[in-house]
Structure 1
């Protein structure tokens, strides 16, 4: 079997740097400005990473006013600034700590509190999302969706609910994944699969394709039934205690599974799981939990990252299609996974892979940002859709469910619907020898 990091070599947790120490890393050079989506949209200094760091420093001992909180809330947390910063500023740690402070100290208005309560009572819970599948199908089938979109009623009542309705995908029914899927041929690794909340409920076909690809490459795939939310949405939204609760449960689940690697096919989930020690430290967990978190993080890998490391052996059949690849922010910036998806996709005979113009600009999904800040998200989605249209691609490939739903919605809104697939689905189609039409069912 292939050797993968076990986490045993991670040792004791290194000392955490203080918030003030992290603030001091910023030299205010401005390299982050052109990479920041909100600065690109509005050109406002306080809506840039540099401006927000200035606000963090200025308000260390002050009350957080609604005006200051608004600038923090407008941040998508895309981490493009982290990749572009020559000084290595940990803006990701700074903004997550600041958001935890905002949630602890700032009193939001009743409308905002109600919206956030709805979002976080629903999206981190797979079973609750599953309960919506039937009503959502009926809603679509009776024509209410088309009428509401034409009338604009929902947009006037609540732009956030309208955004939620627009990104809801067509629902497909696939057989439930078995708890154990044996490897095809010689077993090369034993992996655990994180199925996710949104991915597992609204896009289950992605998990099915992921498991098939892993099995085809000689992996025994374990899918623990007990797994729940990984805590990514909570961590990115300042809900520190909730994020830590989800993280602890995930650590325990995959510790019990006893796998070589935890494979994740959702960029946001993978990024969060690779930083579990920070998530638990933010909530005040002790050294023991931090060590366990680091051990799991060391065994966590994005699907494409894992496959390149493992070395593909399954035969690829031709798949003649013109596809564009979108870098999900929490895959490229959050995990540094940029080349691996392209390497795997370009190895497929007949597939023409294109890069999008302005690839580092966030699409506007950003977890639940497109529901909490729908106007800004819509602007960014429309920009990304325009870039996609310019390539002439019939298929968009991306490794995050939020990006898939956001960009598909923007393309449909602009009158240019496009098929969207996860890299796992493209690899699965090639390995199984399917026709390209299997990926282009919804293409114009």
Structure 2
């Protein structure tokens, strides 16, 4: 493939990516670094076999894109890893058990109703105070990780299809509700809609919207990702701006132009939607504040989600929004460029490595001494919360939208601290 060869040739093997790569930081193995994986990709492109070892090293990559940020040559490693994973998925060089686990994950997580159904059995055994962890660990580490990461049931929130702006209308925006966000953290979506409305936006919440395809896209399931992308494009056809409150979803939607570039029927619409997509913090920073912020006496640690910081380049905006709240103090987390280990479904498929990275991130978060962790991606929230709990720490986690919502509505810090 001409594109693949060109992208490979951009790498000059300088090694600037090494200290920012989570798996290289963990193990110090060249083949588990971006440079090493690019070497393996080059061998494949030159006709080498797709070996089990190559698949293993590619699977171990989180796709966090820290290397893209660090690279002085502008290597599109994100595109390289996606294309390589497409080839692996097409060739299916995995065991039957591995394939079944992947099919299970992708048959559930992109579908909110199925996610909701999955939580029923978990809710039942937790009420009985049963610990299925050891049994699930023996059956499948992936199933055990799924059980650990699933949060307690949250009260469902049904958003209307239109939330009217408060005061003079400044904008009309569409809002993605997501899959994991919708089912595991419905309060984040409710807070997002309220903040947008209080800042003068009519918020359109298309009823028929589904998964954005991020999990599929980042796992090499190209045709599945394209189908999800087309459905989202159709659902948001009538809005000028789409606001997204989950980093992975926003990253994927901003990439639709590339995902559907070879589809003559959808390419133009896909590129247009990518150009209209904004992360919540990005959009609010562009819009400028109007609603009054009330004091919120909290010390928060802000976590840079990889698909927000590395993929979208959205770092300053969330900090600026939080910094505009009277009484709120922000503390930085050490090594922010190193992924927490969530990375879409990575913490399900590579639970051991993900746990090591989660523990590392949890220690750095705890070291800030903050009252609260702020994160802008549901996967990060699940991953870091689980790691903190594993270390015997209870630190509440909130989304940027929830902090802004509390400040604008004058809700005290107790609403967050009671989450411990």
**TM > 0.5:** yes
Task: Give runs of aligned pairs for residues 150-229 of structure 1, distance below 5 A.
Answer: 152-229=134-211
Contact 2:258–2:271, Cα closer than 8 Å, also in 1: no
Deviations 1:336-362 (A, max 9, x none): 000000000011111111110111100
Shift of 1:311: 0.4
Q: Deviations over 1:46-93 (max 9, x none)?
A: 110001111101111222010111110000000000000000000000
| 5+ long unaligned stretches in structure 1 | 1-15
Residues 64 and 106, structure 1, Cα contact 8 Å, conserved in 2? no
Q: Deviations over 1:268-316 (max 9, x none)?
A: 00000000022224xxx42341111110011000000000000011011
Q: Is the 8 A contact 1:370 1:377 kept in 2?
A: yes
Q: Residue deviations 1:82-110, cap 9 Å, x none?
A: 00000000000000000000101132102
Structure 2 counterparts to residues 81-120 of structure 1, below 5 A: 81-120=67-106
The answer as to 2:303 corresponding to 1:326 is yes
- Asked if 1:40 is matched to 2:25, the reply is yes
Unaligned runs of 5+ in 2: none
Residue among 23, 43, 62 paired with 1:76: 62
> Taking structure 1 as the reference length, what is the TM-score of the superposition?
0.93
CA contact (8 A) 1:171 1:203 kept: no
2:280 aligned with 1:300 = no
| 1:140 CA displacement | 1.8
Matched residue SS, 2:173: strand
Task: Report the CA distance between 1:131 and its aligned residue.
Answer: 2.1
User: Contact 1:76 / 1:369 at 8 angstroms: preserved in 2?
Assistant: yes
Conservation of the 8 A alpha-carbon contact between 1:363 and 1:380:
yes
Find the aligned partners of 1:52 and 1:110 in 2 and give their Cα distance. Answer: 25
The equivalent of 2:408 in structure 1 is 431
The CA distance in 1 between the partners of 2:266 and 2:316, in whole Å, is: 32
The answer to whether residue 371 in structure 2 is matched with residue 394 in structure 1 is yes
Picking from 346, 354, 359, the partner of 2:323 is 346
1:134 aligns with 2:116: no
Task: Give the alignment of 1:39-58 within 5 angstroms.
Answer: 39-58=24-43
Deviation of 1:132 after TM superposition, in Å, equals 2.8
**Secondary structure of 1:186 counterpart:** coil
Structure 1 residue matching 2:67: 3-state secondary structure = helix
CA distance in 2, matches of 1:226, 1:17: 38
Shift of 1:17: 6.6
In 1: Cα distance, 2:2 partner to 2:324 partner: 42
Verify: 1:259 aligned to 2:245, yes or no: no
Aligned pair count reads 419
- Aligned mates of 2:62, 2:408 — CA distance in 1: 36
How far has the Cα of 1:139 moved from its partner?
2.4
CA-based RMSD: 1.2
Q: Which residue of 2 aligns with 1:274?
A: 254
